[in-house]
Amino acid sequence: MNQRWRIVALWLLPIGVVLLIGWQVISNGGLNSMNAGGGTGTTEAPRNAAVARMSYGRFLDYVEAGRVTAVDIYDGGRNAVIEAVDPDLDNRVQRLRVDLPGLAPELVNTLKQEGISFDIHPPRTAPPALGLLGNLLFPLLLIGSLIFLARRNSGMPGGPGQAMQFGKSKARFMMEAETGVMFDDVAGVTEAKQELQEVVTFLKQPERFTSVGAQIPRGLLLVGPPGTGKTLLAKAIAGEAGVPFFSLSGSEFVEMFVGVGASRVRDLFKKAKENSPCLIFIDEIDAVGRQRGAGIGGGNDEREQTLNQLLTEMDGFEGNSGIIIIAATNRPDVLDSALMRPGRFDRQVTVDAPDIKGRLAILDVHCRNKKLDGELSLESIARRTPGFTGADLANLMNEAAILTARRRKDSIGLGEIDDAVDRIIAGMEGRPLTDGRSKRLIAYHEVGHALIGTLVKDHDPVQKVTLIPRGQAQGLTWFSPDEEQTLVTRAQLKARIMGALGGRAAEDVVFGHEEVTTGAGGDIQMVASLARQMVTRYGMSDLGPIALEGGGQEVFLGRDLMSRSDISESISQQIDEQVRGMVKRCYEETVAVVAANREAMDRLVELLIEKETMDGDEFAAIVAEFTSVPDKDRTVVTLE
């Protein structure tokens, strides 16, 4: 508080001095009269003394007529205040202001000849001290502003008021990390937790490991898709270990000025050595740890210098005993190989999307503070959400809670969970379609998808069919696998291709080849992608088990962009032929299934238009009335 008052005083001091001197000049520096010719002087300023104006010509007429009794000249002869007798006002004396062309000798001689008393008042001049302060006012204000900014940011490392702190580390430091997250709050990543709990045990009980010659890992790299809990695991480690904790992002090292990033790395490790043993967490390390020399025409020197300094500090000439670095990334493929070697990041901990047991444990954590309906089962939610990460499940339960509050219910039910899942996957619910040809066409399209998904053995079962628009889709068909699918068979891939082509096949069978619509655009793109992967990546074609293309990852500039293809033109042509042949055969099989079950499809369309939404069990029961639904032991269609 005292510091703030000193800053305010520093600002107000020069301004107060200037105002004080100005007030003294105005109050005491009145117009001193000089009586030249025996007249009476005046002490008022001409702008305030005159009550009326008089032209210069009329003034000369008054002088010749002898009506002027006194003249006070100001501003070097530009203004004058006269006292004149006005015969129209019973010869009363009045004060008038006159604008003069200048202090001419003729005017002075005329006034002397007529015997008129006049005074010439010199122009007012400001004191020298006031002029000096006026010239110094702006520099004083500028210097005061700079001092104010410097003092205000004195407590912020690297703030704009500390030019010498620009190369200092921006890492957040906590002597005892109070993240509020413990290992009990992290679920669904059991294997990763076991790896990281060893690090916490090593920090708390190092003699348990050193007694058998074990050394503490220098670095742990958390690798996994976004939202799987990498940062949450780092918070749990900080909360459990009870040692000093530094946290920052990889992008905080990189600046536009060369050498700043390396300086921040040195400063970070210097502080870490002073507080050893400690933890350093670097989130999104791929921002600074990308491969060196991968840019066309030369790499980013600043980023590469930062990475070189980081490599040296992690495992260089000087050891960093007691410092454990934890980093997180979802792009390990772009990291520099020197950063990934043992001695720098000794362990790579994979944090994948959870399975059904992991999702159940995550839901149990996120439902601690939520009111659930008594009939709602967390296991049913876990089965409903394959592929969801921990962040997705947290968002799901939050959306369900929002829907519950919006509908003025006391607890979250299955309806809110289903609507929340649909909103997260497909988008916000739109306005229902009006009855007409467009709605009927969309109904046939969606029933075509669901019919193939029901009749083909290896396809995932239908969960729901709806005509209610969501996002960009006018209608949706949901499929839900019965179990976690880590490996997918050839029959399952072909069944997915047929299911995606079911909508187009229904349009073709019912409305004719010339009436098919653009609604199958997204389906056809997925079909092309699946068929090409079966040929080029999985070896599921007549070309044999040969990988003919890469893994389908994004091109890394400088490493992959200029790489040549190892596939000849003839092989490329054969790939295209295999893809077209596979898709053609699947489409012909799909059209045959749809045409053979036209009666069931018409009935399903009428019910769907009436109800707008049907669940999978109801859909399968109606299909069973017209044809036999395949079980796990047989198929209805031949996929070859």
Query: Which residues are known catalytic residues?
Result: 446
Helix axes 301-314, 260-274, angle to 10 degrees: 20
Sheet of 245-249, strand order: 172-174, 245-249, 278-283, 323-329, 219-223, 347-350
CB 96 within 8 A of CB 50: yes
> Within 367-489, where are the H helices?
378-384, 390-406, 414-426, 437-455
DSSP H or E run through 590: helix 569-596
Dist. CA 354–CA 143, nearest whole Å: 59
| CA-angle at 629, arms to 461 and 440, nearest 5° | 70
How far is CA 278 from each of CA 175, 250, 307, 443, 475, rounded to the nearest angstrom?
9, 18, 21, 62, 55
The one-character DSSP state at 123 is P
Q: How many CB atoms neighbour CB 284 within 10 A?
A: 19
For the record, the structure tokens of 503 come out as: 């909508």
Phi, then psi, of 633 in degrees rounded to 5? -100, -10
Residue corresponding to tokens 């010199």: 122
Sign of the torsion angle spanned by Cα atoms 381, 382, 385, 390: positive
Phi, then psi, of 514 in degrees rounded to 5? -80, -10
Query: With 0-12 CB in 10 A as exposed, 13-18 as middle and 19+ as buried, what is 533?
Result: middle
Helix axes 490-511, 437-455, angle to 10 degrees: 150
Q: How many CB atoms neighbour CB 550 within 10 A?
A: 13
For the record, the structure tokens of 449 come out as: 């998808």
DSSP H or E run through 411: none
Residue 166, classed as helix, strand or coil, is coil
Dist. CA 252–CA 323, nearest whole Å: 20
Dist. CA 272–CA 116, nearest whole Å: 93
CB 579 within 8 A of CB 531: yes
Could you tell me the maximum CA-CA distance found in the chain, to the nearest angstrom?
Answer: 138
Q: How many CB atoms neighbour CB 148 within 10 A?
A: 16
Dist. CA 421–CA 372, nearest whole Å: 16
Dist. CA 215–CA 205, nearest whole Å: 12
